[in-house]
Amino acid sequence: MFSGDPAEEMEKLSKLEDPPAQCCKLFKMGEPTYSCRDCGHDPTCVLCVDCFKNSEHRHHRYKISTSCGGGYCDCGDVEAFSNYAHCSVHILGTKGGKDGQQSHPLKKVPASIQVRGGRGWLQMRRRCLL
């Protein structure tokens, strides 16, 4: 069911109302950034302090840099890291959206048809009475 490309799954999730699966925090000038030499695909894949502290990368061979401003946290970007793309906070965003919301619209369909049918009957009756 969810055997598709992980990046594709991320796109679907980011289009939902809740976007907590990715951090996307913008770095200010002089703010510390963390990159993981073990998992980062290239040196531009960086984490903010909060995500780094909550991620497995703190046990890896990481590198601290100082941001020049303008970059953003790559936490949650599965294309930026080969492992542990999510910190322990943002991983929750990937799990929450799947089961919670998808079952609702399917259950509502028969109900809405019933409501429409009911209104139709009322209008028919009113016309007959008038």
Q: What is the x/- site pattern for Zn ion, positions 88-117, by CB under 5 A?
A: --x---------------------------
Q: Which stretch binds Zn ion (CB under 5 A): 11-19, 58-66, 98-106, 116-124?
A: 58-66
Does 21 contact Zn ion by CB under 5 A? no
From the CB of residue 81, how many other CB atoms can be counted at a distance below 10 Å? 22
Does 45 contact Zn ion by CB under 5 A? no
| Least spacing, CB of residue 8 vs Zn ion, in Å | 20
- Candidate list 10, 13, 21, 36; residue touching Zn ion; CB under 5 A: 36
Half-sphere exposure of residue 45: CA atoms within 13 angstroms, side-chain side: 21
Cα 36 from Cα 42, distance rounded (Å): 9
- Candidate list 13, 39, 45, 78; residue touching Zn ion; CB under 5 A: 39
Q: Which stretch binds Zn ion (CB under 5 A): 5-13, 46-54, 95-103, 122-130?
A: 46-54
Q: Summarize as ranges the residues that interact with Zn ion (CB under 5 A).
A: 23, 25, 36, 38-39, 48, 51, 57, 60, 73, 75, 87, 90
